[in-house]
Amino acid sequence: MYAKNDKITCMNWTLHPVHTKTNACSGLKFTSVSQTTPQQDFDASPGRWHSGHTMLYPLLRPFLFRLDPETAHFIALFALKAFVSGRPQPADPMLSVSLAGIDFPNPVGLAAGFDKDGEVAHLMNHFGCGFAELGTLTPLPQSGNPKPRLFRLAEDHAVINRMGFNNGGQADAIERLRHMPRAGRVIGVNIGANKDATDRIADYVTGVRQMAPFADYLTVNISSPNTPGLRALQGRGPLDELLGAVMAERGAHGPPVFLKVAPDLEPADIDDIAASVVDHKVDALIVSNTTISRPPLRSAHAEETGGLSGAPLHDLALQRLRDFRAALGASVPLIGVGGIASAEQAYARIRAGASLVQIYSAMIYEGPYLAARINTGLKALLQRDGFTNITQAIGIDAR
């Protein structure tokens, strides 16, 4: 819907040379400017398969950034559906990670919020993503907050959003997921509560019941700053109640359950969440969502209400990951999110304790093949440090 889309929009131009179409919504003509086909992309070595596309993005970005972010996002989703055919991502022996019984072909995933309704998650492996998380999906459809509600902070390589869980609802997504190609893909489903729900915990239980059959993993998102009161569920009492209900509904045979937390936490909050996560045997912790804090920013949109993501979130999200690693040790796998824009930053997050990482905002600024570039860079960093698989590097700086 947003900046992220922008990047993906560029991708559209680089894909499927056989197609030349005009987007009815934008009037834009999506004609291939790349000499490679998607199949060639996959067959080439990771170091080369995205390089041609990568060079295009800097040319396209100025045009994309003239569009309203939500319009750009809409166009991006449209173009993805029209022109990209995702194929199963072959596992890279050096980058493959096993977590909660799931085999991830590489550790770089698409974070929640880009594909709210599960329209394109199965295509993101085309761009090097080892997994994709769709949602947040609420039981009932809801339109979210009034527009404008998404802002690019280009000078800061950041985004502020106050989308408010706009989504088409779980029933709608289920119909789409029934037909989504799944082979060789890892697709997580992020669930939340409707804004006007009288019983929010019941909404999460509904989400588990409805979405579990379609999810490789479920993410319980209690960390969006854009649904009033939602983050109060991170408190010890409410969190125990929520996780008890969610895990009971998931049962012995359901998918792994991950919990996604905010970065805006005090030390006591971190200890409480860690204790609750251990007590309820949550399968992994995603650290973190956007921040309501405002480090120094240069952009005119700096004071917009909402969650800040991208480069200014980097240090805070890394610190929260370290905090949770210190509180939990290696007992609960961590997934690092927030401001990751390079292989070096992804590697630092992994060395700090993350088994996987997710990206969103940086793709807006760096382009759609960022995941592929991070994977290529990760391999070089692992080789430099004498590791043969990325799991050997997880948490090495926290020991």
Ligand X SMILES: Cc1cc2nc3c(=O)[nH]c(=O)nc-3n(C[C@H](O)[C@H](O)[C@H](O)COP(=O)(O)O)c2cc1C
Using CB under 6 A as the criterion, which residues of the chain lie in contact with ligand X when the complex forms? 1-2, 111-113, 116, 135-136, 150, 159, 161, 163, 190, 221, 224, 260, 289-290, 309-310, 313, 337-340, 359-362
Structure tokens at 390: 């990325």
Cβ–Cβ < 8 Å for 366, 54: no
Nearer to ligand X, 256 or 339 (CB): 339
With tokens 């796998």, the residue in question is 333
In the complex, the smallest distance separating the C-beta of residue 137 from ligand X, rounded to whole angstroms, is 9
Q: Pairing state of beta strands 29-31 and 20-22?
A: antiparallel
In the complex, the smallest distance separating the C-beta of residue 31 from ligand X, rounded to whole angstroms, is 28
In the complex, the smallest distance separating the C-beta of residue 75 from ligand X, rounded to whole angstroms, is 15
Exposed, middle or buried, 20 (CB in 10 Å: 0-12/13-18/19+)?
A: exposed
Residue of 129, 161, 122 lying closest to 145 (CA atoms): 161
Phi, psi of 171 (to 5 degrees): -65, -40
Nearer to ligand X, 12 or 289 (CB): 289
Report the alpha-carbon distance of residue 41 to residue 51 in Å, rounded: 9
Gap between the terminal Cα atoms of the chain: 40
Nearer to ligand X, 34 or 226 (CB): 226
Collapsing DSSP to helix, strand or coil, 339 comes out as: coil
Nearer to ligand X, 38 or 192 (CB): 192
Phi, psi of 356 (to 5 degrees): -140, 165
Closest residue to bound ligand X by CB: 113
Nearer to ligand X, 340 or 390 (CB): 340
In the complex, the smallest distance separating the C-beta of residue 35 from ligand X, rounded to whole angstroms, is 30
In the complex, the smallest distance separating the C-beta of residue 18 from ligand X, rounded to whole angstroms, is 32
Q: Which residues contact 70 (CB under 8 A, 6 or more apart)?
A: 1, 2, 5, 147, 148, 149, 150
CA 158, 362, 357 angle in degrees (round to 5)? Answer: 120
**What are the residue ranges of helices labelled H in 251-367?**
267-279, 314-328, 343-351, 361-366
In the complex, the smallest distance separating the C-beta of residue 133 from ligand X, rounded to whole angstroms, is 7
Cα 376 → chain centroid: 19
* Amino acid at site 373: R
In the complex, the smallest distance separating the C-beta of residue 321 from ligand X, rounded to whole angstroms, is 12
Active site residue 96: no
The catalytic residue among 34, 223, 224, 361 is 224
Nearer to ligand X, 38 or 371 (CB): 371
Q: Pairing state of beta strands 187-191 and 108-110?
A: unpaired
Report the alpha-carbon distance of residue 55 to residue 44 in Å, rounded: 17
Nearer to ligand X, 344 or 385 (CB): 344
Nearer to ligand X, 189 or 393 (CB): 189
Length of the chain: 399
Structure tokens at 286: 């995603």
In the complex, the smallest distance separating the C-beta of residue 21 from ligand X, rounded to whole angstroms, is 26
Collapsing DSSP to helix, strand or coil, 104 comes out as: strand
Q: Which residues are catalytic?
A: 224
